[in-house]
Structure 1
Amino acid sequence: MDRTSLLQIEKSFIRGTWDITISTSDSPAVQLARKVIGGEFRNALTSPEAHKLIHVQTAEFNGPLGESFNFSVSSDGDLAEQELLRLSLAVAFLHAFIQANWTGPALDFEPLDVITADKSEASLSEDFIKRKAVAELAYGGEPAYHLAAVPVFLRLSQLLLGHPYQHLQTVQWWRLRASLVHQQVLDEPVADSDLLSASLEPLESIFSSEPDLLGRLCLERGRLDHIHSQDKSAAEYFVKAARATGLEYELTGALGKRTKFQQTELSQLVLLAESKLNNDPATPHSTGPPTQNDGPSRAAEERQRPTITALPETLPLNDDTLLEQTEFTSSHPTSADSRLSHVSPKNQPPLHPIDQCIFLSLCLNVKNTSPSHGLTSEQMSPYVARVISHPRNWSVHTMALLLRSRLESSRTRTVERSTLQLQALIDQMPTSDSTLSERLHYFHSVPLPSKWELEKELAIKFVSLGVVKSALEIFERLEMWEEVVKCWGSMERPERGIAIVRDLLEGRKSEADVVLSRGKATAEARRQVQDTSRAAKLWCLLGDLEQEKAVEHYERAWSISKETSGRAMRSLGGHYFARGKYPETIACLRRAVRINPLLARSWFILGCACMRAEDWEGARDAFSRCVAIDEDDGESWSNLASMYLRLGTGARENGGQDKDDGSMTYGGESSKSISFANKMLAFRALKQGLRYSYENWRMWYNYMVVAMDVGELNEACRALGRVVEETSGKVGAESVDEDVLDRLVDAVTRASPNEGDDANSDTPPNPNEGRWLFKSVNNLFERVLLPRISSPRVFRAFARLLMWQNKWEEAIKAHLDAYRNGVAGTMEKGEINVERWREAVHEVEEIVDLLKNFGPRAEGYRWKLQARSIVRTFTGRTRDFEDEPEWERLEVLQDELRKEDE
């Protein structure tokens, strides 16, 4: 088989449609590939070609499944064709598994129809093969869902794809797809090999001239990062996919109405979009209309395209107030300079299904990178509405309706449709209202949940609505025992949950796979096949319920799993941490993160335990992993910065005591021993963390002090403003770090006001001093401090800034404000505190000296009158202190001021 034809077939596999330009061939491998792409999995997997490759090595099945089959190709014959045959079977197994658990309808064949030609063999049973496959699908200490249909198909697909391929170029892409499916079968996502990501890079260059394939590749690569909570990287891939397909889109506003009784047109959020790919969903590989150069083969393909089949039902809202969808009254967006100004919000063109998948993926990323407030749903709704408005494909439309259901679940007027729509999506799975090939067409480009995940989501929605009994029935049918226990707990009957778990562990209550195996004449050794990951999870669940025996149960789970249960070590570590046993916590959680390093919560608790044990390096490493997994975790960024500041200090300082929120306030003499490099690392960590914890004043305070230490005075100025904004309402003037404020003013005033005005100056602008810092400091005073704070020191600092600008009258007024808010200005008649009065006398002398020195510089300012008034008023209020020696100084001061007028 020539390389060109082979690549054409590979592209057809990826697209899910057979390219009729491929030359006809009697090759069994080509014919098998065509059957698989057409969704004829039974014919493909039971064909003579399949039986030659998938034959059982041993009748006993005692070892792993990989040792029970021989998938190797023979040395004689065309090696490329044999590899194509193996890939075709791997895709058939994978898609048959997806059909059984995601898209429906039900399969018309069973695993034994494929695995052995003689289904009546007594040595094999469907249940035994299923339990063995479920046990092997457990990965990284996380169990696979034990009620998944035909799990052996997914396992066989993995085994087939795991063999080396020398002639095919897209095998790694199929490994990515199999991995995405496998992650959805596990309880928690588990990190894949870095090789998986790296080996996908060459495919981007191979398909650089194929917009639809490059778009799919970027989408699916982004989905992997999305599953692993790498939202930033996922977003970059989703945007890259849009760039690859040429998708033009813009989130803007247009005049419209949202309710039936709305009279005034308001600006409504709308997503304008236009596809560059061909909009015919039956030809996703087309990038434009047919041309004369396409020849008769392309024309024949145009005539053979199937019509669009039935799509999932879109339930109406039927609300007495809200419209079914926003009714746009303007044919143009409100932004005049919009790139898509030619697209009417009222009548937008249909989008290509791949572009619809991109929008749904971008919508998921908005959900992950935004806080939980109304803006999130407002941002997501236009994306979903744009996809729902033009249904193009069964799987894509199902995903769009599911996202809309999630968005509407929190609103009173839409919660009913939300629940009914979710139920309708579950009910449609087993139907045959659309072809299997259409359901699989874009399956890998959207994060469509499995059947059991959809039902679980419906049950959780029932719980939120208070219909716990209905939710309990669903969870029990799905055998999701952790959720069952939570339901009994919410009904204030936790003992029922404990009884269920104990019955499962002790054999008094059977799960579905055990029930199926009863009465079957299988060997004793075969009946002993157990999914140890699931058994370990049950022991962990029992440990959660019986805290007095928690350690015993968690250790039993660890032992049963042969030290592979990450859940057991996470639970045990959390148990020790809650009781202040930090060395034990560290030991347990280090085992847990070795098994599954993707769970940020485990790293966070490990970091906190190391912090309590004063293992600063261990804590630094743990919090570094936290922020690598979840970049939005502001608390971990704060703790990471604290660890950088701890390294090298050698001991805990009073200025750095732990706060309730896990942050540590920076300060103390030990800060002098911290290296500049560590301070810069702390500064950068805090700067990143504040993007996600904008209202955390402790982080802002630490950021301010570290910024001062590393010379980033402009950032310190911004941080001081945020601290005052967040805390001045509670503590008033104490919210201002006056030492920092004075240093900021010093940094401005030490330079000449005209420094840098020379355009030919070789001195580069420095935002941390002189006139370049002045704007920030002046804004700090005028916008933040002066409207909120009445502190003498703040007013004096502001006066110095005004003097630097030669604004003498304004500076004098600022000094007078400082005087009025100081001891002398606030002293009332009848004061008896002599020390306080003496301090006030000193302040009177200071303000009079200031008026003498700077009053003459303020043109037309009557400083003498002001000075006499200050002294006269003060002496009038404090005549009770006439016997004190300092009183004579006041009298001398009055005499001097009188002489000034003579």
Structure 2
Amino acid sequence: MIIKSFEKQLLVSVGSKDISSRLSLDGIPCSHKIFDYSDISDTEYYRSLICHLKEIVTFERGSEAVTVRVEGLDESKCYGFLLSAVWLLKFFIQTNFTGPSVELDDGCLEFLQEVDELKSEMVLDGEDIQENVRHPATLLIVKELLNVVPVEMIPSVTWWKMRCDFLHETILEEKSNVLWPQIKSYEDILRQQLLSTVEDKILGALFCLEMAQMYLFHYEVTTAKDLVSYASTLTGINVSLAGALGKRTKYQQNELAQLIVQVTSVDLSSDDGCSFSLLDGELPRNIPLNDDTRLNKIHLSNATPAESLSPIQQIILLNFYFVRKSFQAQDDVTRTECEAFLTALLDSPQVWVVQFVSLLHRSVLEKSHTRTVERSLEQLEVLKENLKVPSPPLHQRLPFFFTSYMPPWFKVESVLAEIYKSLGSINSALDVYLRLSLWESAIDCYNTLQLRHKAEEIIRKELEKGETVKLWCLLGDATDNTEFYEKAWLLSNGKSSRTQRQWGYFHFHRKQYVEAVEHLEKAVSLNPLEYPAWMRLAFAAMQVENWELCAKAYRHSCILDSDNFESWNNLSNAYLKLGDKLRAMKVLIEATKCDYNIWQVWDNLLVVATDCRAFEEVIRSYERLLDLKDKHTDPEVLGVLTKFICENLEDSKSEGCIKYLKPALKLFGRLTANVTTNGTIWKLYSDLLATQDNFESGVTGAEVLHRSVDCSQKSIRCLMQDPKWDKIADSIKLVVEYSLNVADRTLEFSKKYSDSSSVANFKTTAIFTISRVIASIKKRKSELITETDAYDSHIEELENKLQELKTN
């Protein structure tokens, strides 16, 4: 993919003013008056751009809402259309994401109002545009301008189309099953062009980071992680967590280990396409932590002046943070790791969007802690105002926007409302939610204030202004009346996944799982990108024992989030219920990859692998269980493993199981070092050692069988340590079995290695043990009046074996 220098700068900086004014330096003629703006403000340029668009754009209701007039398309006009599209896209980003606010004259506003009438054309599959989005239909014009430009003439236009579609999807009420496949088709084209040869590492890295944002948006965390890792590889940047001694509080005496992030990289060319002008003192202000105990930042004992991170290092580090945050469970460990990433980013303030997003995420992290919640609140107030002030100008806010996951302005304010809510200021939070028309959150506030009727009133007022699918669904949520879900469904002409999902959730929360399955199944068929809906469908299907649907739902959940071990574990259970043990085992193996430290998953894998005769996996699972629980015992599994090895039965690969003898002996050796009182385990260990003797000779064989006899004696001692063993019929039977095993092992040893000095000791111990058992059984028999035949049989067997020991 051959991208000219100017195109690369346009992609990286999203069209700063100095880029377009240098077009002639790249040998590209630029005769259009609208591109001669080196000495005018952004607002004046927008006016010129809109005047130009009035001349070439017409609007029609119908399938083609926007038409661009094209006459004599040449290279100059192609670049003109591209820059027009980019600048209009900048206008959309400025008004909805980065700020500052734009003031336009009446003529421009009339044009934008005419464009806004096309908002309904942006509705996809019944999913409307979020209410707070400003001038959303400008994206329709951007798309048409980009469609005019031939890919053969300007290859980077595909990238801009992908960006535009993703922005469109982010402003919809729900994820789009129409736009996401289109975005992935653009990805395939760009991946082939950018990553097949990787001629430009910076562009390749930026492409990977942008795609990572999109995959994270769709819950595909593993794919996002791989893309971020590849971006760091392309640029030679290595990000790792490390420990360092330091102090976190003002009165701390001893230095403790603190988590830090280390960033190292190879030197990139100075002309890497990211050498745009950086801010000097105009970044979003980082509010200090004025706490009487905690330091503003961790003080490290061997702190050396850290090198300032370059812009590309910062944006890669920010994306590592996003992946880390999404990849792991939200616990104290993850929180500490996220804090380390954000601290590293805020220590090197350079890029406006990185600073803004880092401060926003730090505020979210700090909102739940008493010592930091005050700063969190103050910081968000500053960020909110920063979107309104004119400084810094737009071209300093835009670089790396598409790799920053920056939320729109109304979501920033909603985070502020969440903090009000966490502080108990429900009314303040409610005011924000009502102003932003965030009705779901407003309903929650009314419920908390025990004013549920107010939620119904306000939604009905909104319905009087105009019926929407979302409002009818919200009315159903507020009143617990399913008739309103039905009205929403009819209004959407059977296309709204939101309606069926909310309807399903209504039944799900009331444990009406049959009804929940019916509606959630419809919801995911309309929009298969909603991960929470798949999870609830899977659980509901499990409750009603619809195992095929349960497996399908959990399988799709695992596709969307392949790092959720619970989904894999439950999918395995569904396969077991369907009788597919082999698939269940493979799924559990995937579950262990998601979280290596959950012993319950390893225990499930141990049992399933045993049923599948996959004994290599059985031994691996048991070894891992001993790592996690050093005294884990499962005699049934160990019994099956021992039987298959001792009898050399076939495993799942139709191969003899004797090949597992050595790893099994190693496992038993480790287990018996920790578990010394389980007679069954000692007996099984004895059997394995006796089997090994058949494959050894000379001194080694004698040693092995010696250990086998020793283990068999330990097994009977463990059973007889129970003072009530001779009072229970099953225990007596087991003691007799183990006693006979002791005698057999002793006789075998005495026959094979009669010259051994241990023979006499083994025989003496065996005779003494069996004599004790016979005496105990006879005593128990004398206490019984009936059912003594079994005891006679036991006594006879033991006395015969005792006589054999004495005569041989």
- TM-score, length of structure 2 as denominator length: 0.84
Structure 1 residue 315, shift from structure 2 partner: 0.9
Change (3 A) 1:698 1:360: closer
Structure 1 residue 442, shift from structure 2 partner: 2.2
Identity of aligned residues (%): 25
Whole-angstrom distance in 1 between the partners of 2:801 and 2:550: 65
1:434 is the counterpart of 2:322:
no
Whole-angstrom distance in 2 between the partners of 1:49 and 1:448: 30
Q: Paired residue for 2:697?
A: none
Letter in 1 for 2:8: K
Q: Paired residue for 1:370?
A: 328
Change (3 A) 1:637 1:388: same
Q: How does 1:401-800 map to 2 (within 5 A)?
A: 401-505=359-463, 507=464, 535-547=468-480, 549-550=481-482, 552-575=483-506, 588-607=519-538, 618-645=549-576, 679-692=581-594, 699-720=601-622, 736=634, 738=636, 740-749=637-646, 769-770=657-658, 774-775=662-663, 777-784=664-671, 787-788=674-675, 790-800=677-687
CA shift digits 1:637-671 (9 cap, x unpaired): 23433454566xxxxxxxxxxxxxxxxxxxxxxx5
Letter in 1 for 2:758: G
Whole-angstrom distance in 2 between the partners of 1:174 and 1:832: 82
Conserved? CA contact 1:111–1:150, under 8 Å: no
Conserved? CA contact 1:485–1:494, under 8 Å: yes
1:32 is the counterpart of 2:34:
yes
Whole-angstrom distance in 2 between the partners of 1:436 and 1:177: 18
Whole-angstrom distance in 2 between the partners of 1:183 and 1:576: 29
Q: Paired residue for 1:675?
A: none
Change (3 A) 1:744 1:788: same
Whole-angstrom distance in 1 between the partners of 2:307 and 2:12: 23
SS at match of 2:134: coil
Q: Paired residue for 1:88?
A: 83
More deviation, 876-885/251-260: 876-885
Question: Which of 137, 141, 146 does residue 131 from structure 2 map onto?
Answer: 146
Structure 1 residue 404, shift from structure 2 partner: 2.1
CA shift digits 1:771-816 (9 cap, x unpaired): 65533x3454344466358443322111112332643343223222
More deviation, 354-363/267-276: 267-276
Letter in 2 for 1:456: S
Q: Paired residue for 1:183?
A: 169
Q: Paired residue for 1:50?
A: 52
Change (3 A) 1:87 1:855: same
Conserved? CA contact 2:85–2:145, under 8 Å: yes
Whole-angstrom distance in 1 between the partners of 2:119 and 2:196: 36
Unaligned runs of 5+ in 1: 117-124, 288-301, 331-344, 508-513, 515-529, 648-670, 672-677, 753-764
Question: Which of 121, 145, 150 does residue 136 from structure 1 map onto?
Answer: 121
Structure 1 residue 697, shift from structure 2 partner: 6.5
Unaligned runs of 5+ in 2: 694-700, 783-787
1:810 is the counterpart of 2:707:
yes
Whole-angstrom distance in 2 between the partners of 1:693 and 1:275: 30
Q: Paired residue for 2:218?
A: 228
Conserved? CA contact 2:222–2:561, under 8 Å: no
Q: Paired residue for 1:7?
A: 4
CA shift digits 1:593-640 (9 cap, x unpaired): 233211123234444566677766554443332211111233332343
Structure 1 residue 35, shift from structure 2 partner: 4.1
Letter in 1 for 2:273: H
Whole-angstrom distance in 2 between the partners of 1:878 and 1:57: 100
Structure 1 residue 705, shift from structure 2 partner: 4.1
Conserved? CA contact 2:283–2:352, under 8 Å: yes
Whole-angstrom distance in 2 between the partners of 1:403 and 1:768: 57
Question: Which of 740, 751, 764 does residue 865 from structure 1 map onto?
Answer: 764
Whole-angstrom distance in 2 between the partners of 1:681 and 1:894: 48
Change (3 A) 1:789 1:149: farther
Structure 1 residue 583, shift from structure 2 partner: 7.4
Conserved? CA contact 1:90–1:156, under 8 Å: yes
Q: Paired residue for 2:785?
A: none
Question: Which of 95, 98, 102 does residue 103 from structure 1 map onto?
Answer: 98
Change (3 A) 1:279 1:148: farther
CA shift digits 1:175-218 (9 cap, x unpaired): 22223322332233324123232222244159944333332222
Whole-angstrom distance in 1 between the partners of 2:459 and 2:356: 35
CA shift digits 1:279-300 (9 cap, x unpaired): 99xx86168xxxxxxxxxxxxx
Letter in 2 for 1:361: N
Letter in 2 for 1:433: S
Change (3 A) 1:35 1:562: farther
Conserved? CA contact 2:715–2:738, under 8 Å: no
Structure 1 residue 100, shift from structure 2 partner: 1.3
SS at match of 2:593: coil
Structure 1 residue 326, shift from structure 2 partner: 2.5
Whole-angstrom distance in 1 between the partners of 2:204 and 2:794: 88
Structure 1 residue 707, shift from structure 2 partner: 2.2
Q: Paired residue for 2:24?
A: 23
Structure 1 residue 96, shift from structure 2 partner: 1.0
Conserved? CA contact 2:261–2:340, under 8 Å: yes
Whole-angstrom distance in 2 between the partners of 1:543 and 1:152: 30
Structure 1 residue 438, shift from structure 2 partner: 0.2
Conserved? CA contact 1:537–1:557, under 8 Å: yes
State the superposition RMSD in angstroms: 4.0
- TM-score, length of structure 1 as denominator length: 0.76
Change (3 A) 1:7 1:418: same
Whole-angstrom distance in 1 between the partners of 2:773 and 2:478: 72
Structure 1 residue 832, shift from structure 2 partner: 6.4
SS at match of 1:271: strand
Whole-angstrom distance in 2 between the partners of 1:48 and 1:499: 41
Q: Paired residue for 2:748?
A: 853
1:326 is the counterpart of 2:316:
no
Change (3 A) 1:309 1:898: closer
SS at match of 1:200: helix
Structure 1 residue 368, shift from structure 2 partner: 0.8
Whole-angstrom distance in 2 between the partners of 1:619 and 1:866: 58
SS at match of 1:690: helix
Structure 1 residue 148, shift from structure 2 partner: 1.9
More deviation, 474-483/857-866: 857-866
Structure 1 residue 556, shift from structure 2 partner: 0.7
